[in-house]
């Protein structure tokens, strides 16, 4: 590797990750069930799924912090299944930063380089470069305890990047941060990845985070991969009910799953429309949620704008007809039963 | 580019309760008052009494008392043995704490309890046990009575729990992910220990070591039997002080006690400095 600064330009042969038939169980609990996955070199891939679904276990197996019961892991075309973490050329970022609390920001970032016994001047320059990259230049001499959560996580990222890993793994990197910082760091990670084209795989349970940041999303649940694809593919063409309901709000209308913003509200009866009574109109920020009750007892809800509500002259107690705007992308009653996802 | 300039706002706001820093509330003043009074009565007053007794006959009297060959040899031996015991405890105690926290083995619970036995046992009983085991008729055929090794053994026995019990909670709380982070950055097991774990546990090791030094310096009960109190060889300061008190030489007793106190203070300060250094070095 001769990537000079981690900045773009110095294009190097990028390493992908290949996971073959990886299986891992803890006692009776099967965390990963014969996982096959290929992570494209240079991409920003999200492992998305509910907590306890196995995504962190998979990430830790790739990093060498855990080992599969069977199966193989390849990093950059080399078998890494039983390599210790030290020899995998993997940068790992933990949810809770895992900062070296007794070392300053600069020394934290320098850690991997100092271990490799790099010349002092080289370490100094590289650390300065990385601190600039993560915008912590002015915090070089602070201890982690004197940094905010967001700053600590950026420090951890710089520390992982310092040793020029072939792949960067992030385990719920923004999970411990408050909503606003989270959003800022999300944008920042996206832009950082555009500068440093290291193959990046990050774990998240936040579908919005995955949809916003990743090039590719791998949906994992109950130890199995549900679907792999681009954010748009997954959102528009979910493979099953689970993926559909995990990636965004869904509601059930006339027996089929549909996104509440893909429902047409009609004031008269038409073909394919279901008659419902509006039970409640709920203002949430810029949107209005219309909760309804159909004659079969089901309670579909519709996501509308204020303008739409005004135009339809919608009021609680009114009778309207609902019709899905898009066809359900998978056959009804597809394999995995959806878990209840709070809207 | 200033991608994250807006993210930087680590500075916590001041506490702003309309009080200037350093000012105390009523309750806090009361607490401070009680604390100071308590310390004064229990610690400062006796110390002041000892120091003043030590210098009753002036500086010359103090000097004569502590340079008495018997006193000097007892002090030398006591301080030396206490230092040795402290160093051994720092290493072995940390190791035991590590084993107790990080390893799983049958009998771990029992070991947990066994660690505290030296605390629970009256020290004279400890002394009795030691001469039974390492006395002239001991089962191992090793006679340590009247030897310096015997005294060190007794001191090791009574000070065993200090380092173990101070390091253990720190190791339990230690974030394993920090070690994993170091490993994925390429650090070997030894490097992780030296650069990540050691700086974390050092303050606890030092405070445990300080306690065990203080205890060893003043230990009497467990030592008195196995040492056989041989003047110039195995006599410890505490036993010398007792001898002085029994022969009405309170100035000598107080002088030796004062010197021991000074040694203890110096060692505690040195340990504190060592701890700050290691914690920063990483």
Domain ranges of chain A: 17-241, 252-324
Q: In Å, how far is B202's CA from the nearest CA of chain A?
A: 11
Residue B126 lies in a domain: yes
The answer to whether B234 and B151 are in contact (CB under 8 A) is yes
Mutate to test the interface with A, among B2, B185, B206 (most CBs of A within 10 A): B185
Q: In Å, how far is B181's CA from the nearest CA of chain A?
A: 7
**Residue B7 and residue A188: Cβ atoms within 8 Å?**
yes
A211 vs B119, residue with greater confidence: A211
Total Cβ atoms within 10 A of residue A98: 25
* Residue-number span of the structural domain to which B154 is assigned: 58-281
Residue B52 lies in a domain: no
ipTM of the complex: 0.81
A17-241 in CATH: which number?
Answer: 3.40.50.300
**Residue A91 and residue B191: Cβ atoms within 8 Å?**
no
Within 8 A of B196 by CB-CB distance, chain A residues are: 100
**Residue B177 and residue A191: Cβ atoms within 8 Å?**
no
In angstroms, the CA B85 to CA A108 distance is 35
Average pLDDT, chain B: 87
The phi-psi region of residue A42 (left if phi > 0; otherwise alpha if psi is between -120 and 50; otherwise beta) is left
First-to-last alpha carbon distance for chain B, in angstroms, is: 33
Within 8 A of A91 by CB-CB distance, chain B residues are: 184
pLDDT of residue B80: 95
In angstroms, the CA B251 to CA B253 distance is 5
Q: Report DSSP letters for B142-210, one per residue.
A: ---TTSHHHHHHHHHHHHHHHHHHHHHHHHHHS-HHHHHHHHHTT--HHHHIIIIIHHHHHHHHHHHHH
In angstroms, the CA B145 to CA B164 distance is 27
**Best CA proximity match to B93, nearest among B170, B157, B162:** B162
User: By percentage, how much of chain B surpasses pLDDT 90?
Assistant: 53
CATH fold label, A252-324: OB fold (Dihydrolipoamide Acetyltransferase, E2P) (2.40.50)
Residue B91 lies in a domain: yes
In angstroms, the CA A59 to CA A71 distance is 14
Under DSSP, the state recorded for B41 is I
The contact set of A with B (CB < 8 A) is 63-65, 84-86, 88, 90-92, 94, 96, 98-103, 107, 111-112, 115-116, 134-135, 139, 146-148, 150-151, 154, 156, 159-160, 162-163, 181, 184-185, 187-188, 191-192
pLDDT for B108 beyond 70: yes
Range list of β-strands (E), chain A: 17-26, 29-39, 44-48, 70-75, 78-79, 90-93, 167-171, 199-204, 216-221, 224-229, 251-253, 256-258, 263-266, 274-284, 287-294, 301-305, 319-324
Total Cβ atoms within 10 A of residue A267: 12
Q: Are strands A17-26 and A29-39 parallel, antiparallel or unpaired?
A: antiparallel
Within 8 A of A193 by CB-CB distance, chain B residues are: none
**Best CA proximity match to A300, nearest among A241, A256, A246:** A256
Nearest CA in chain B to A85: B184
In angstroms, the CA A312 to CA A213 distance is 36
Within 8 A of A86 by CB-CB distance, chain B residues are: 183-184, 186-188
Write down the residue that tokens 């990047």 correspond to: A161
**Residue B185 and residue A163: Cβ atoms within 8 Å?**
yes
Q: What contacts B225, CB < 8 A, 6 or more positions away? A: B124, B127, B128, B130, B131, B145
Question: Phi/psi of residue B144, each to 5°?
Answer: -105, 5
Binned at pLDDT 50, 70 and 90, residue B3 comes out as very low
**Residue A191 and residue B3: Cβ atoms within 8 Å?**
yes
pLDDT of residue A4: 41
| Residue pLDDT tens, chain A, 343 long | 344 444 433 344 578 899 999 999 999 999 999 999 999 899 999 999 998 889 999 999 999 999 999 999 999 888 999 899 999 889 999 999 999 998 999 999 999 999 999 999 999 999 999 999 888 999 999 999 999 998 999 999 999 999 889 999 999 988 888 888 888 888 888 988 888 889 999 999 999 999 999 999 999 999 999 999 999 999 888 999 899 999 988 998 888 888 999 999 998 888 888 899 999 999 888 889 999 999 888 899 999 998 888 888 888 888 999 998 887 767 655 455 444 444 4
Residue B224 lies in a domain: yes
**Residue B188 and residue A86: Cβ atoms within 8 Å?**
yes
CATH number of the domain where residue B96 is located: 1.10.3720.10
The total number of structural domains in chain B stands at 1
| pLDDT tens track for B25-80 | 778 888 899 999 999 999 899 999 999 999 988 899 899 888 999 999 999 999 99
B10, B185, B188: residue with CB nearest A112? B185
pLDDT for B5 beyond 50: no
pLDDT of residue A253: 87
| pLDDT tens track for A81-112 | 989 999 988 999 999 999 999 899 999 999 99
B8, B183, B282: residue with CB nearest A102? B282
**Residue A148 and residue B184: Cβ atoms within 8 Å?**
no
A99, A103, A111: residue with CB nearest B185? A111
Angstrom distances, CA of residue A176 to CA of A31, A95, A148: 23, 6, 11
Tokens, residue A69? 């019961």
The answer to whether A230 and A200 are in contact (CB under 8 A) is no
A116, A159, A184: residue with CB nearest B4? A184
Angle of helix B198-218 relative to helix B148-173, nearest 10 degrees, comes to 150
**Residue ranges in chain B assigned as alpha helix (H):** 26-39, 45-54, 58-67, 69-102, 108-115, 117-120, 123-134, 148-173, 176-184, 189-192, 198-218, 221-227, 237-246, 250-281
A92, A99, A107: residue with CB nearest B184? A92
In angstroms, the CA B250 to CA B82 distance is 24
Within 8 A of A154 by CB-CB distance, chain B residues are: 4, 7
**Best CA proximity match to B256, nearest among B86, B35, B78:** B78
pLDDT of residue A64: 93
Q: What contacts B88, CB < 8 A, 6 or more positions away? A: B156
Angle of helix B198-218 relative to helix B237-246, nearest 10 degrees, comes to 30
Within 8 A of A90 by CB-CB distance, chain B residues are: 184
Total Cβ atoms within 10 A of residue B240: 25
Residue B17 lies in a domain: no
Residue B4 lies in a domain: no
Q: Are strands A251-253 and A274-284 parallel, antiparallel or unpaired?
A: unpaired
pLDDT of residue B7: 41
Residue B13 lies in a domain: no
The answer to whether A180 and A10 are in contact (CB under 8 A) is no
The answer to whether A145 and B279 are in contact (CB under 8 A) is no
Residue B273 lies in a domain: yes
CA quadruple A173, A177, A183, A185: dihedral positive or negative? negative
How many Cβ pairs within 8 Å bridge chains A and B?
Answer: 101
Nearest CA in chain A to B186: A86
């Amino acid at each position: 590797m001769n990537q000079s600064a981690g900045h773009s330009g110095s294009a190097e042969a990028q390493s992908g990750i290949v996971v073959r038939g990886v299986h891992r169980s803890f006692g009776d609990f099967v965390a990963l069930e014969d996982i096959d996955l290929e992570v494209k070199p240079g991409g920003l891939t999200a492992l998305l799924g509910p907590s306890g679904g196995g995504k962190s276990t998979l990430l830790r197996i790739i990093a060498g912090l855990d080992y599969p019961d069977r199966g193989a892991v390849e990093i950059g075309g080399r078998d890494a299944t039983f390599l210790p973490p030290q020899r995998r050329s993997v940068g790992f970022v933990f949810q809770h930063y895992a900062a070296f609390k007794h070392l300053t920001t600069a020394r934290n970032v320098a850690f991997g380089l100092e271990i490799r016994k790099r010349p002092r001047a080289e370490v100094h320059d590289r650390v300065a470069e990385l601190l600039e990259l993560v915008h912590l230049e002015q915090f070089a001499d602070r201890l982690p305890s004197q940094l905010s959560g967001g700053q600590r996580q950026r420090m951890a990222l710089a520390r992982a990047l310092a040793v020029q890993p072939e792949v960067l793994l992030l385990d719920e990197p923004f999970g411990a941060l408050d909503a606003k910082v989270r959003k800022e760091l999300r944008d920042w990670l996206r832009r950082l990845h555009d500068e440093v084209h290291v193959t990046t795989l990050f774990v998240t349970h936040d579908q919005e985070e995955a949809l916003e940041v990743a090039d590719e999303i791998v949906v994992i649940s109950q130890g199995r991969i549900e679907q792999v694809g681009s954010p748009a593919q997954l959102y528009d063409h979910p493979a099953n009910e689970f993926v559909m309901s995990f990636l965004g709000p869904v509601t059930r209308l006339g027996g089929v799953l549909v996104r509440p913003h893909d429902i047409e509200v009609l004031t008269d009866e038409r073909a394919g429309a279901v008659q419902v009574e509006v039970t409640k109109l709920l203002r949430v920020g810029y949107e209005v949620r219309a909760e309804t009750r159909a004659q079969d007892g089901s309670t579909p809800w519709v996501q509308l704008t204020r303008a739409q509500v005004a135009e339809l002259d919608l009021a609680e107690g009114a009778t309207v007809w609902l019709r899905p705007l898009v066809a359900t992308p998978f056959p009804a009653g597809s394999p995995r039963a959806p878990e209840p996802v709070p809207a | 580019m200033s991608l994250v300039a807006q993210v930087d706002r680590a500075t916590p706001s001041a506490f702003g309760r309309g009080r200037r820093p350093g000012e105390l509330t009523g309750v806090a003043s009361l607490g401070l008052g009680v604390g100071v009074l308590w310390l004064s009565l229990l610690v400062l007053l006796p110390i002041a009494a000892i120091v003043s007794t030590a210098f009753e006959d002036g500086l010359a009297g103090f000097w004569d008392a502590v340079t008495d060959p018997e006193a000097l040899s007892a002090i030398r031996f006591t301080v030396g043995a206490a230092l040795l015991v402290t160093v051994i405890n720092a290493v072995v105690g940390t190791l035991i704490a590590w084993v107790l926290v990080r390893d799983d083995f049958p009998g771990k619970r029992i070991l947990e309890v066994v660690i505290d036995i030296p605390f629970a046992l009256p020290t004279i009983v400890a002394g009795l046990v030691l001469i039974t085991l390492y006395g002239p008729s001991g089962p191992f055929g090793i006679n340590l009575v009247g030897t310096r090794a015997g005294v060190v053994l007794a001191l090791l026995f009574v000070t065993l729990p200090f380092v173990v019990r101070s390091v253990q909670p720190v190791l339990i709380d230690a974030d394993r992910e920090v070690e994993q982070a170091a490993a994925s950055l390429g650090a070997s097991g030894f490097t992780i220990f030296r650069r990540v774990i050691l700086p974390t546990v050092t303050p606890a090791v030092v405070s445990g070591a300080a306690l065990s030094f203080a205890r060893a310096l003043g230990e009497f009960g467990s030592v008195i039997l196995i040492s056989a109190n041989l003047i110039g060889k195995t006599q410890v300061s505490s036993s010398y002080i007792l001898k002085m008190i029994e022969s009405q030489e309170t100035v000598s007793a107080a002088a030796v006690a004062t010197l021991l106190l000074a040694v203890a203070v110096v060692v505690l300060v040195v340990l504190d400095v060592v701890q700050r250094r290691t914690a920063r070095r990483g």
